[in-house]
Amino acid sequence: MNRRTVLALVAGAALLLPGCTGTGGSAKGADAKAPDDPSKVSGDITVLTVRTDLVQDGTMKKYAAEFNKVYPKVKVEFQALTNYEAEIKIRMNTEDYGDVLLIPAVIKKNDYPKFFASLGTEAERAAKYRFTDFTTVDGKVYGQSPVGVMPGFVYNKRVWQEAGITEWPTTPAEFLAGLKAIKEKTRAVPYYTNFAAQWPLTSWTYVNGSVGCDPQATTKLAQGDPWAQGSDLRVGDRLLYDIVRQGLAEKDPTTTNWELSKPQLAKGEIATQWLGTWAVIQFQDAAKKAGVNPDDIGFMPFPAQSDGTFCATVGPDYNQAVNVHSPHKEAARAWIDWFTDKSGYDRDNLAISPLKDASMPQVLKPYEDAGVKLIELDDSAGAEVKLIDDESEVGIYKPEYRQDLVDLARGAKKGSLDDFLADLGKKWTKTQKSVTGR
Amino acid sequence: MTHTTGKVPAGTAASAGTAPLPAPRRTRTWRVLTPWLFLLAPLALLITFTYAPIANMVAYSFTDWDGVSPELHYTGVENYTEIFTREDLFQVFFVSGYYLIASVVQIAAALYFATILSFQVRFRNFFKGVLFFPSLVNGVAIGFVFLYFFQDGGTFDTVLGLFGHHTDHAWLGTPFSANTSLAGVSIWRYLGMNFVLFLGAIQSIPGELYEASELDGANRWHQFRYIILPGIKPVLTLTVILSISGSLSAFEIPYIMTGGATGTETFVIQTVKLAFQFNKTGLASAAAVVLLLIILLVTWVQRRLVPDDRVDLV
């Protein structure tokens, strides 16, 4: 045997190593029952979170201290992940992904029972909590979001008033007229796309439901062309296209800066951004830091009305779940229940409570005054939509297609909006057929 | 390696004492075994962290795995068929053209500076430092630095403004401008590395050759053309190969700066998107394997066209 044969043999042996995926998620169907007696539950639990800021400034520790007053024998540790989706994806291949975690977007809904312990049946949980159907598989619920979020425009009230607009626009055309007035009468950038940060653009997908005021909007995505004439996504995309096309967005979208955009909006250098209720507190904090009035930060619904009222959708943020491999499922469950019901996390973040009987946060006072109709989308087809989205590589929950849309609008990419959307629709419906067999 | 292997048998032979005969069996076994014992640690690391993952990736490329699901199905060559039948997956290679042109500029510039700085020049070491410095900076940091550089009203616009040239150009705004800017950053980033390679090669050329050629009436250009260029040919070929494979698999700079938006998506960015955005780990693995094969193929063709002869200057 000469040296080459040896090398070839070694390489060959390496290739024959089993293509092991190392997936530990083989256990199936476990329940994380709520403990009967809080003083008896014990165990060390690790809670994964995306709130790096709250772990660093000690806020999470304060929550844990409060929690320990009720559950003295449970020790809570926090792990903040900066790039949650990417990091958790790798860890999901092991059994070590914390005791309490946020359900990652990458896990298919039907696989939930393999990764998470059930929190109870939908019938019993739906009576008390919102958003249960987002994590329900075969009648069992696997996660619970501690806050509800609502998409909408974060805007600077002072700037909009200076431009002479005091009423929320009710149609996309009125909205565009409003932005134009801002451009003419003030020095603010009317709309900021946050193109470079990518994810702010994906929030435009959450116009779905609020345009046509239809709780079945997600089911419609799964069954038809999302960009059909008059459909929610088309109206939203058209508005974004027109904003950029008419020069109402920032001059150079390719070098935007998300962190910087917060104080800029607070100071009135930027007038509007399409984000969600979750962003309001961040902008108010930025205002306080910049020494301007935090009450200038306003929140408005998508400019569309049906039957004379605005419509807004309430959806879950990340859902907390219990690791199916956790040795302390009761303690983990206790944390989720306490964090959802009693921690005050929702109020601290000016967010919508996940409890059905709780009142709306202060931020949404103008919504109540204006009689905005709040709806919850039916998510029973959510898994199917995600599957079609990935298979077709359209990516309605990914930034790429909206980046292309903005490029198209500012002329960096050739083509018309109609062709672009028709093309997406074609890809979508083609995959739809192969995925669902419809 | 040769150093260490030489020493051990020498030691054992000394302890064997007066035996003038061929070394005993045990010594001979050790002589064969020793290099392998030394190789054990690096080989174990190499196999664990390089070859096993590659083998795994090749295995994934024949499945429909999504990256997390406990279930995966063997799909045969389906992923490969998809890659070779979908033209949109290959269009991104046009973007590599920008980096290819950039690497020509980069090699030419590196060669120029290396030649000049190998002669007696004032502040020679200072310039060497200046040219090599970017290679020491982390690629991700460079991405962020240049994001500010190209911003509207950023460093670049300010510098141009100082020279009285006020552009209102969005440098990353159109596909052409964005790709050119990114390729420019890539030149800045990798020029130092090529430069150092060339400089080392040039300095290994014996000095007498220059003196002799000067006596024969050669000028600087002649020296470059007939002494330096043939003298560094192996290094030059290596650099060209590295540049081509680097242009085909450009990633860091465009990923950090634009994330592949505005027509700056390269093959590797596309692969990452397939794997981590659309959760098609199987397809993405196949794409990675295809890229590897393409680079091997290009290298092979290149070696065929430009054989690596031994150079003999004297």
Q: Which domains does chain B have, with CATH numbers?
A: 87-305 (1.10.3720.10)
On the question of a common fold for A26-146+318-349 and A151-314+379-436, the answer reads yes
pLDDT band at B40 (very low <50, low <70, confident <90, very high): very high
Check pLDDT > 50 for residue A313. Answer: yes
Q: Does A430 touch chain B (CB under 8 A)?
A: no
* Class of the CATH domain delimited by A26-146+318-349: alpha beta
Check pLDDT > 90 for residue B191. Answer: yes
**DSSP type of residue A134:** G
Residues of B within 8 A of A399 (CB-CB) are 259, 261
pLDDT band at B20 (very low <50, low <70, confident <90, very high): low
Look at residue B314 in the predicted model and tell me its pLDDT: 56
Look at residue B264 in the predicted model and tell me its pLDDT: 92
pLDDT tens for B69-84 read 888 889 989 999 999 9
Q: Give the span between the Cα atoms of B82 and B66, in whole angstroms.
A: 16
Give domain limits for chain A.
26-146+318-349, 151-314+379-436
Q: Give the span between the Cα atoms of B125 and B121, in whole angstroms.
A: 9
> Which residue of chain A comes nearest to B148, CA vs CA?
A255
Look at residue A11 in the predicted model and tell me its pLDDT: 53
Look at residue B6 in the predicted model and tell me its pLDDT: 41
pLDDT band at B305 (very low <50, low <70, confident <90, very high): confident
State percent of chain A over pLDDT 90: 66
- The rounded mean pLDDT for chain A is 89
Look at residue B310 in the predicted model and tell me its pLDDT: 61
pLDDT tens for A418-438 read 999 999 999 999 999 888 765
Check pLDDT > 80 for residue A27. Answer: no
- The rounded mean pLDDT for chain B is 87
The dihedral region occupied by A16, where left means phi > 0, alpha psi between -120 and 50, and beta the remainder, is alpha
* CB contact (8 A) between residue A251 and residue B170: yes
Mean pLDDT of A322-335: 93
Q: Lowest mean pLDDT of A44-53, A236-245, B159-168, name the range.
A: B159-168
Strand residues in B79-186 grouped as ranges (E): none
Q: Does A294 touch chain B (CB under 8 A)?
A: no
Look at residue A110 in the predicted model and tell me its pLDDT: 86
The length of chain B, given as a count of residues:
314
Mean pLDDT of B117-141: 90
Mean pLDDT of A331-360: 91
Contact A93, A325 (CB under 8 A): no
Coil, strand or helix: which one is B11?
Answer: helix
Q: Lowest mean pLDDT of A364-373, A406-415, B10-19, name the range.
A: B10-19
pLDDT band at A4 (very low <50, low <70, confident <90, very high): low
pLDDT band at A316 (very low <50, low <70, confident <90, very high): very high
Look at residue A8 in the predicted model and tell me its pLDDT: 57
Nearest to A412 among B262, B274, B279 (CB): B262
Which of A191, A181, A198 has its CA nearest to residue A249? A191
Look at residue B311 in the predicted model and tell me its pLDDT: 59
Contact A100, A335 (CB under 8 A): yes
Contact A38, A70 (CB under 8 A): yes
Check pLDDT > 90 for residue B88. Answer: no
Tokens describing residue A220:
């419609």
* CB contact (8 A) between residue A23 and residue B69: yes
Q: Give the span between the Cα atoms of B23 and B165, in whole angstroms.
A: 79
Look at residue A121 in the predicted model and tell me its pLDDT: 92
More confident residue, B11 or B175: B175
Q: Lowest mean pLDDT of A87-96, B19-28, B113-122, B152-161, name the range.
A: B19-28
pLDDT tens for B100-127 read 999 999 999 999 999 999 888 889 899 9
Look at residue A85 in the predicted model and tell me its pLDDT: 86
Q: Does A107 touch chain B (CB under 8 A)?
A: yes
Mean pLDDT of A114-119: 93
* CB contact (8 A) between residue B69 and residue A393: no
**Amino acid identity of A250?**
E
The length of chain A, given as a count of residues:
438
Whole-number Cα distances in Å, A411 to A62, A81, A414: 51, 38, 6
pTM equals 0.83
Check pLDDT > 90 for residue A256. Answer: no
Look at residue A25 in the predicted model and tell me its pLDDT: 43
B→A contacts (Cβ < 8 Å), by residue, are 47, 51-52, 54-56, 58-60, 63, 65-70, 72, 147-148, 150-152, 154, 170, 172-175, 178, 258-263, 273-274, 276-280
Check pLDDT > 90 for residue B183. Answer: yes
Look at residue B13 in the predicted model and tell me its pLDDT: 43
Q: Give the span between the Cα atoms of A417 and A208, in whole angstroms.
A: 19
Q: Give the span between the Cα atoms of A115 and A27, in whole angstroms.
A: 8
* CB contact (8 A) between residue B55 and residue A17: yes
State percent of chain B over pLDDT 70: 91
Tokens describing residue A355:
């409890």
CA A314 to chain centre: 11
Look at residue A35 in the predicted model and tell me its pLDDT: 82
Q: Which residue has the tokens 């043999």?
A: A9
Nearest to A393 among B54, B60, B278 (CB): B278
Check pLDDT > 60 for residue A296. Answer: yes
* CB contact (8 A) between residue B150 and residue A255: yes
pLDDT band at B1 (very low <50, low <70, confident <90, very high): very low
Check pLDDT > 90 for residue A184. Answer: yes
Mean pLDDT of B197-210: 91
Check pLDDT > 60 for residue A150. Answer: yes
**The CATH homologous superfamily of the domain defined by A151-314+379-436:** Periplasmic binding protein-like II (3.40.190.10)
Q: Give the span between the Cα atoms of B27 and A317, in whole angstroms.
A: 70
Check pLDDT > 70 for residue B3. Answer: no
pLDDT band at A186 (very low <50, low <70, confident <90, very high): very high
- Chain A from 2 to 61: CB within 8 A of any B CB: 10-11, 14-21, 23, 25-26
Look at residue A9 in the predicted model and tell me its pLDDT: 55
Mean pLDDT of A149-171: 94
Look at residue A345 in the predicted model and tell me its pLDDT: 92
Residues of B within 8 A of A413 (CB-CB) are 175, 262-263
Look at residue A434 in the predicted model and tell me its pLDDT: 85
**DSSP type of residue A186:** S
Look at residue B119 in the predicted model and tell me its pLDDT: 85
- Burial track B237-248 (b if 16+ CB lie within 10 A, e otherwise): eebbbbbbbbbb
> Which residue of chain B comes nearest to A92, CA vs CA?
B68
Nearest to A15 among B58, B172, B258 (CB): B58
The dihedral region occupied by A308, where left means phi > 0, alpha psi between -120 and 50, and beta the remainder, is left
Mean pLDDT of A36-59: 89
* CB contact (8 A) between residue A407 and residue B172: no
